[in-house]
Structure 1
Amino acid sequence: MFATHSHTHCSIAPPDLLAQLALDGTSDQQQAAVRALATSAAFRQQRAVMGRLTRQFGLPMGQLVGFNISSTRRLTVYDNQKKGRTFLPGVRMRGWGEHKSTDPAVNEAYDGSAQTYDFYLRVMGRNSLDNAGMELVSSVHYGVAYDNAFWDGTQMVYGDGSGQIFQVGGLTRALDVIGHELTHGITEFTAGLAYSKQSGALNESFSDVFGTLVKQYTLKQYAVEADWLIGEGILVPSLGKALRSMKAPGTAYSGDRQPATMDGYVDLPDDNDPRNDNGGVHINSGIPNHAFYLAAMALGGNAWERAGKIWYQTLTTMLHANTQFDEAARATIEVAGTLFGTAEAHAVEGAWREVGVLP
């Protein structure tokens, strides 16, 4: 898997959006987008290598990078002080159970990590990303006006935003963004979905699913009450309302190319051109995203109680590196029947049929 796709780098900002702004944005947006693309490129190798070591060779992530593994939940937030990769994680600012910092970004990263940890522990029975108490490490103020946030294979990294693409401070305020990126860590430890084409779109979709579920769980929202937006309010208003809409893919921001059904599937090459988005991983994820939305709405209630548990069990026990959309669909149907029953399996099947993944 990782030998083939060694350029893996998952971040919240869709590379095709950054590429679009680098070409067609204002002069300030062009500079911000080029800076974000160049900085993100520096991390393309690390996630792949760390995922391979932890999953294929059984080496604990915490021991590899010098972070703690504990029977009690742990998280630590560092300040990267607007420096770069060699400075990670940076200066320690706040550890588990310690008083608030005077820095809002530190507290937001702390709270978001804690809320994501709580969701997985209380709802899914999972003890951190590796299910063995791995410390959640975050670094804020990465780079200079950096327009991105990402899981680098070992920790969370947050830029401040430039005010040209992302609002200043927006990336640490968005709980679903934090939940999304941390879920990439769970995917590394479990299914290991290759970050290319359909398997990569599933990788992105599972992160969107659990990003929105962390937010809905924290807000105690029923599925019908949720906005189903990923990153609502973090882009500058002129670009759009969010990064993605699971309810209405393709409507989140100006230039949003996400399809809701297979009729709009975009077959792109995985060729390192950011406009092609690793074969459309952020673009085509709209299809499985919409399937989850439809399943959650059909099942009703709180989306994390049935739909979320079906998707979690599928991700952690049923998938492999090169899983395609139709395989994932059949797996969720099987899990729905096993966990809940025939009615739930039919609801999930109907969702996948509605988006055209199943005939």
Structure 2
Amino acid sequence: MTTEIDFLYLNERDMIAAGVTEIAECIDVMEETFVLLRDGDFKMAGANGNSHGAMVTFPEHPVFPGMPADGPDRRFMAMPAYLGGRFGTTGVKWYGSNAENRTTGLPRSIHLFTLNDTDTGAPLAVMSANLLSAYRTGAVPGVGVKHLAREDAKTVSVIGPGVMAKTAVEGVLALRPSIDTLTVKGRGRAAIDDFVSYVQKKYPQVTKIDVVDTEQEAVRDADVVIVAVTTGAGGSSTFPHFDETWIKPGALFLCPAAAHFDDDFIVNRARTIVDHPGLYEAWKEEYGTDAYEILGIVGTHFYDLVNADLLNLEKIEQIADIAQAEGPKRRSDDEIIIYSVGGMPVEDVAWGTTIYRNAIERGIGVSLNLWDKPALA
């Protein structure tokens, strides 16, 4: 057996050439990933094996020179995972994040992904991962659209027009080409204009775009609603609130970010779906009763209601079960569905492995040598 180890380096141009922006394929890969999650053929970090990852944050008032002060999205994060099935690989996404990056033309977070051989631990690839992360994030809501959005959907609404919403709306439009109307609710004019321009250039099928001032205006005619607002420090009082009376019958809510619904609606009339129950169990262990206030992910509040004996646990469905169910996936044309999306490193491993194998097949990327023979072994 040779001791030589080479790995593939893929920059952002290489990632695009290898198919990282192919949203429809990514949606299918995410669906496959959720089935492996449900069946248990995976491992993430933490004692429970379900952790989102490990995070480094900074104090509000550092006492050491050179240590950063806390600020919006100021953190470092490592997200490791193993995924079985036909993937059989292990990887980690590592990123630093700072909202101030946007003032210099950089993305808020800068991502790198390393894919490893599960047996030896040797690196297979090191990848530019901003697009990898963005497209798997957009594809996860897409699994819900594939199975649960009305087939005759005409209008998609976006609350929080940023990068997350861009790839999510790509997934929606790829699966429901009948959609011709977009409604946008944002905070800053620059972000709204950038988002509208992005959709206009990429999706001529969208012939009507409305920019509105309130959540009520945004959702009243929407068949699919994407909620992609960054969580603020003020907790649930700052989350976008959606009154049941505003919502169009049959609407599908895609919630990869902060969202607030009335408890009575969640408990008694909404259909509640999550990506992976184990993720919410891990967050409960890590954040306790504050998970919803800190993270904003609505699925954490579903489990708060279960713990308060207000919601039956069986009412929270798993997307993998819906994807594999026979027959119609919607129960009625009028049911309102809330699909909670948390984001997990197994998703990066799944899409990263797919892109790596595409790159090998297409001869893309630069081979780099780790060593011919290790100096210490």
Q: TM-score, normalised by structure 1?
A: 0.26
Larger Rg computed on CA atoms: 2
Which structure: greater helix fraction? Answer: 1
Which structure: greater strand fraction? Answer: 2
Q: TM-score, normalised by structure 2?
A: 0.26
